[in-house]
Amino acid sequence: MNVKVKICGIMDSETALKAAEYGADAIGFVFAASKRKVTPEKAKEIVSVLPADVMKIGVFVNEAKEEIERIASIVGLTHIQLHGEEPASFSRGLTVPVVKAVSFEGNDALTDLGQYPAEYILIDGPKGKYRGGNGHVFDWKQVNTSYLVGKKVILAGGLHLDNVKEAVQIINPFMVDVSSGVETNGMKDISKIKAFIEKVKTLQVGGKR
């Protein structure tokens, strides 16, 4: 099975279209505090030009359920990424499929996620200034994915062209998520996006967890 790719922190239609053209399986839009934060109106504009089969994932941190649902409806999001301390009950209350993100600081954080009501679990690097997109690599060998049997694992945190192969070999993820690793001077770099996607699409992972 080929590894899937999510390009996160997209802020304009041209970059989103190119990412999809190069084979991105998911595009991420940040609605939490971040230098990559977009308005719902801008995200809607971008989503309107994307192929139907590309996942459109909105990133939220400890946001009110009503606000998440409002933005998801406006934009046309296919998935909600919860990047804060949202409990299981919060996830169950949403009408859009959930990606639950966790900042990896040890396996204790993963023990309860095997039962979390979300098909996807995103493992990110330790918290920085923002909850995600900090570009912090962590020790993938420390991650015990046996807690996440039955989940589709998304790996994030400091991935780039030169380390993604090793990361995939160790974690065996369903999808990899990149943001700062495909940027130049803080802006998305089309050539880096293309090279990253092409590299990932040559990698194979095992079957279901």
Show which residues are catalytic.
Answer: 8, 124
Residue 178, phi then psi, degrees to nearest 5:
-130, 145
Residue whose structure tokens are 């493992």:
123
Structure tokens given for 40: 């719902």
Between the CA atoms of 95, 99, 104 and 108, what dihedral angle is there, to the nearest 10 degrees?
60
| Axis crossing angle, helix 65-75 with helix 40-47, rounded to the nearest 10 | 40
Task: Look up residue 3 and give its DSSP letter.
Answer: P
**Does the CA dihedral 64-65-67-68 come out positive or negative?**
positive
Which of 190, 125, 131, 127 has its CA nearest to residue 159?
A: 125
